[in-house]
Amino acid sequence: MENKIILSVDKSMQLLDILLKSRHPMSLKMLAERSGYPKSTVHGLLFTMMQHDVVRQYADGRYGLGIRLYEYGTAVSESWDISALVHPSLEKLSEMTGAGTFITFFDGKNVISFDRCVGTGGLQVIPEVGMRMALHATAQGKLFLSTLSRSQVLHLLREFGMPAFTPHTITDPEQMLAELDAVRVRGYAIEHGEYRRGLMGAAAPIHEIDGKIQYALGFVGLFRSVTSDDFLSAVEKMLTVAKEIL
């Protein structure tokens, strides 16, 4: 399993990750330090990626993500082109509930937001488009996890970890499995301050292809509790809209 990996390619991807996380162009020296590889090695990898415009070098010598990645990203997002289809539904749900709404996509491992609509309410903490979301601390994450087998869930939780964002975050795998059972029964997932204190939300499946949920519709906002009338009515509205989209 480990030895099938082509190391130079693996290192290249690590560099891209570092550049992504830093959010800023980085010097060769920094890149070498952060990755743990010698400068010359890093240089060679960066040089190669530069030939493909996957990495670019600025006038001051620093390196950053290249234009080509934008092209790739666009190509990937086009393959989900249900965005145009569902955006009106997002707006509708935002208007009805006042909460921020968004659509996520699941590839079996990552939950990524690809469309969103800000609500009318005050605090808006809905994920940016393109952001990867925590599996264990968001309604979307739990919804998608609920479609997986016990072993798959445990594997993913181990891989990504279960950091406690708030005191409400579920950090115990067994507890999570129980929660996922509840999600399966309920048909949708809820999140009560597990990611940000006081923020609550829910997520419902949209597109099911042979049993696999591909997308989720969700909302997040400030509610008194997950049993309050306004929250429950928002959930109802979400389910209605999700059913319309199918």
One residue of 13, 17, 20, 27 binding DNA per CB under 7 A: 27
Of 57, 101, 54, 58, the C-alpha closest to 73 is: 54
Does 88 contact a second copy by CB under 8 A?
A: no
Sorted by sequence, the CB contacts under 8 Å of residue 28 that are 6+ apart come out as: 39, 42, 43, 46, 61, 62, 63
Q: How far is the CB of 196 from DNA (least distance, A)?
A: 37
Burial (Cβ within 10 Å: 0-12, 13-18, ≥19) of residue 38 = exposed
Where does this chain touch DNA (CB under 7 A) — which range of 60-68, 165-173, 211-219, 222-230? 60-68
CB closer to a second copy, 129 vs 222? 129
243 part of the interface to DNA, by CB under 7 A = no
CB of 50 to DNA, least distance (A): 9
Question: Which range touches DNA (CB under 7 A), out of 44-52, 102-110, 147-155, 161-169?
Answer: 44-52
Residue 8 or 228: which CB sits closer to DNA?
A: 8
- Binder of a second copy out of 29, 39, 132, 155 (CB under 8 A): 132
Strands (E) in 92-198, as ranges, are 100-106, 111-117, 132-133, 189-192
Phi, psi (deg, nearest 5) at residue 87: -55, -45
Question: Applying CB under 8 A, which of residues 36, 38, 47, 187 lies at the interface with a second copy?
Answer: 47
For residue 148, give both structure tokens.
């997986």
Q: With contact defined as beta carbons under 8 Å apart, do 119 and 195 qualify?
A: no
Nearer to DNA, 15 or 176 (CB): 15
Given a contact cutoff of 8 angstroms between Cβ atoms, the answer to whether 99 and 118 are in contact is no
The residues, ordered by sequence, that sit 6+ positions from 137 with a Cβ below 8 Å of its Cβ are 162, 163, 165, 169, 170, 191, 194, 195
Q: Which residues bind a second copy (CB under 8 A)?
A: 4-6, 8-10, 12-13, 16-17, 20, 23-24, 44-45, 47-49, 51-54, 56, 58-60, 64-77, 79, 84, 105, 107-110, 112, 114, 128-132, 207, 209, 243-244, 246
